[in-house]
Chains A and B, each alone.
Chain A
Amino acid sequence: MLEFRKDLFADERDDNLHVIGKGEQRQDMLGHVTGRTRFFDDHGFDGLLHLKVVRSPHHHARIRSIDVSAAERAPGVKRVIRAQDVPVNRNTLLSLIGFGKDDEPTLAVDKVRYKGEPIVAVIADSEPEAMAAAKLVRVSYDPLPTVFDVQEALKPGAVVVNETYPGNYFEYHDKYDHQKLRFGDVEAAFRTADHVIEERYQMSPIEHASTETNGTIAAPETNDRYVVHSCAQGLFFSLGTTAKILALESNRLHFIGGTVGGGFGGKVDSLTEPLAVLGAILTGRPVRYVLGREEEMQFGSPRGAERHVIKDGVMRDGRIVARQITSYFDAGAYTRLTSYGVVKCVAHMPGPYTIPNVRGDAYCVFTNRVPATAMRGFGVTGVDFSIEVQMDKLAHLVGIDPMEFRILNAYRDGDMKAHRRVAHNTALIECVQVAAQKSNWALSETARRASSLSGGGGPRAAIPPTVTDESGRIGRPETRQAPPQLTPGAAAPLPAYQAPPAVPVHQPPHQPVPPLPNYPSQPAGAAPLPPVPTPPVPAPPAPPQHGAARFSSVFTRRR
């Protein structure tokens, strides 16, 4: 059942539109419901070869030797790909936006860091032959000690998972082992609060479980290019990743996709594209590399586990005066996207509430498990679970109805958020009111009258004097445990923050069309047409630098 509350925010909308707001049927619906839509795996090629990888049976081990001779002689085998065959066998996904150090091989070299890590790829005439030959690859290992708990991994002397990050944490700003959020003074506020509670929350990994597993079909075209039928959630993101790993100019890859059988974040990592294209290059034939369901569930990257420890100071009247969140994101053995999710989590703290003192410390931690990736609600779902259970506990503690407690603390238009931007376009209070109404959950008159449009701003727009600290310097875990120190001058208010325009500079969609580039009216049959205005072509990326944007000084360490 779906109803619209058109009465709310009506004066902010123009509802006289032709197509927008109409429940029109999708252009692709007929194909989907009749089973005729073509997904990546519906593209047939003559002479199609099949690729399977040999995966590590150990969570952490040194590779002593790899013997592929039996596999190469197996029936139907056309090619075995080893680590030394991969042109650029070290990458990190977000290098395309200049964030982080290359830390992950396409095929493992010297060492495996998680159970299921690919070591060798086998290409054969059929999938059964590829799988049979993969079993003939002999790899001998020296198993190494493992670490699976994020807080264990952060301890000095812990097993080093990923040598690119020897402390088992992603490095932020070339300075800290975590991302900080500092707003006000939580310690002082805890001292004045009527109640202080600290609770620990844990979200386990989650599999995306899309109907379609990850996969790619790559084939040589006749013009020294390769066509790639891809399941990627970001077509150019996967193209850029593949081009980098294979040391190809981006225009030698022709990616086709866009119709994907479910993703939820599980098709951002380019798990299959680079090896499928490399297989096509090395064999000169079309190559299909598709993960089986078991491979997808066990070794396809899942939503990573998150641990959040929340300490709150609350007054008897229900006002939350301080919130401190320490977050540990389990990246698994390689960075992939977890470093980014951590910053997104920090941006989300302390949830949709106006709290005058907030402190956040979020870590991206490496452990010996399958690398984690994005999933629906990345960086937010786990902390939302933790914050909202915490809110329920706080409401219970002070004896206030949980809905009323949300409305009391909700952010409103004009409030300053902990990341130092003014809130606008808020609607949390109205959502709580409508949900209460629909579920016959009684609210007080005060709660029913509250509004996101009023009561915010003023003193709630202020940036408080803020305590900063230098805890958690890279390579100095002892500074992480040390009590917070006031750095010289840090107790003084920060320089007044100049709020930017609410929305960054871009063309607002509702403004009238700007003057169009020259379209001179000209009489029919006029002589030579004026040159057609050429669309500005995006500046071609310099060869070593893939991708469009560069993350700025936040992410200074680049490769």
Chain B
Amino acid sequence: MTRHQGRGMASINYPIGMNLGGDPSQALVHANPDGKFTVALSAIDLGQGMKQVSRQIAAETLGVPIEDVYVDTADSDTGPHDMGSFASRGTHRVGNAVIVAAKEARGVLLEAAAEELEVNADDLVTDGKGNIHVRGAASKSITVKAASQAAQFKQGKTISGRGIFLIPLSNVNPETGEMSPVTAYAHACLVVDLEVCDETGDVKVNKMTSAYELGRALNPRMVEQQLVGGAWMGMSHALYETPEPYYPNPEHGGRDYNEYLLPGPGDIAPHDIAVLERPAPDGPFGGKGPGEMCANPVLPAVANAIFNAIGVRIDTLPITPEKILRALKAQGGARPQVRRA
């Protein structure tokens, strides 16, 4: 029995948002009389962090502290229309709608402050800590709270904003496939180090090393959660999962987590990640979306590393021990390829 070391890589890009566009998102932003803001959406938080990323985008755009913003989603009576959380569209589409809505609300906030300070609203800036002051004259200031109270009870202004973001729908040419699929792409390259046992066919992923380009990491900790978890899902897709192990034979599907194979805590691999940020010209603060794409490079990188370890190509997913052993038998044993670092 020998455990053969192997190293493989893959590089990918990923389209952000619904293919062909035509997928609008709306947002409504409003303040209570104390200058505390609510962002109303109908976007879905599946655990990916939709609420938090919307909250940070709103706080940044409004120019107020993050604790002064909460996101309310999703209630079809109060949240405006949104296509949904899929196609890596949440951050890009909803984020842009939130920016538009928050800019409008900020505009009213500054108008209210300008009236109280008796200055021109164009000369006002926010400090991100709950204050509004004249550019270059920090002493000439008013709190967001005082400006909001004045707007509500004295000036009769509603500090609110509405936003929508829509990439117009693209045609597809039937003859050539010419189309405008999306406006932003994320990128990645990932290296897998693994070992393959030539007696059992077992594959142990030892390490993943990667570079992901995401436009801008709006919240680095949530990005890390996405990338680490998503890459494990990619590993699982490569080596473990399917409800039809002998596809296209439809039988032998798992009925629960005992029968449907997934990696356990002892199977997951450490992941060393570099994040690159090339802002998308139409992304919210340049953000793209790490949601789906983080899993994609892992599948081929695992397959390529297995080839590097034992010299067999498994072109059918998942790459189970059975497939490896059959391929090794057909080849007459392992043929390790050139070692890479």
Contact = CB atoms under 8 A, between A and B. Distances in A.
A6 B227 CA distance: 18
Contacts of B241: 206-207, 209
Given A28-B45, A179-B177, A235-B82, A20 B60 contact: yes
Contact of A4 (B210, B243, B274): B274
Given A298-B243, A427-B278, A441-B9, A509 B285 contact: yes
Contact of B108 (A115, A204, A466, A519): A519
Interface in B8-23: 8-15, 19-23
B304 interface: yes
A524 B108 CA distance: 16
B133 to A, nearest CB: 15
A2 B222 CA distance: 11
Contacts of A494: 176
B124 interface: no
Contacts of B193: 439
B281 A5 contact: no
Contacts of B265: none
Given A4-B274, A513-B103, A377 B293 contact: yes
Contact of A388 (B12, B42, B115): B12
Given A19-B56, A236-B82, A26 B300 contact: no
B1 interface: no
A402 B301 CA distance: 11
Nearest to A385: B299
Interface in A9-38: 9, 12-13, 17-28
Interface residues of A, number: 162
A258 B47 contact: no
B10 A388 contact: yes
A24 B84 contact: no
Contacts of A234: 44, 82-86
A24 B292 CA distance: 22
Nearest to B249: A148
Contact of A209 (B222, B260, B307): B260
Nearest to A302: B243
Interface stretch (A134-142, A186-194, A260-268, A316-324): A260-268
Interface string A224-267: 00000000111111010000000000000111111111111101
A115 B248 contact: no
Interface in A248-292: 253-265, 267-268
7 contacts: A18-B63, A97-B22, A386-B315, A402-B9, A434-B211, A439-B191, A506-B96
Given A368-B250, A380-B296, 20 more contacts: A4-B217, A19-B59, A20-B60, A20-B218, A24-B221, A27-B52, A204-B316, A207-B260, A232-B84, A297-B253, A297-B255, A376-B230, A385-B300, A424-B281, A430-B187, A435-B11, A441-B7, A500-B180, A521-B114, A548-B81
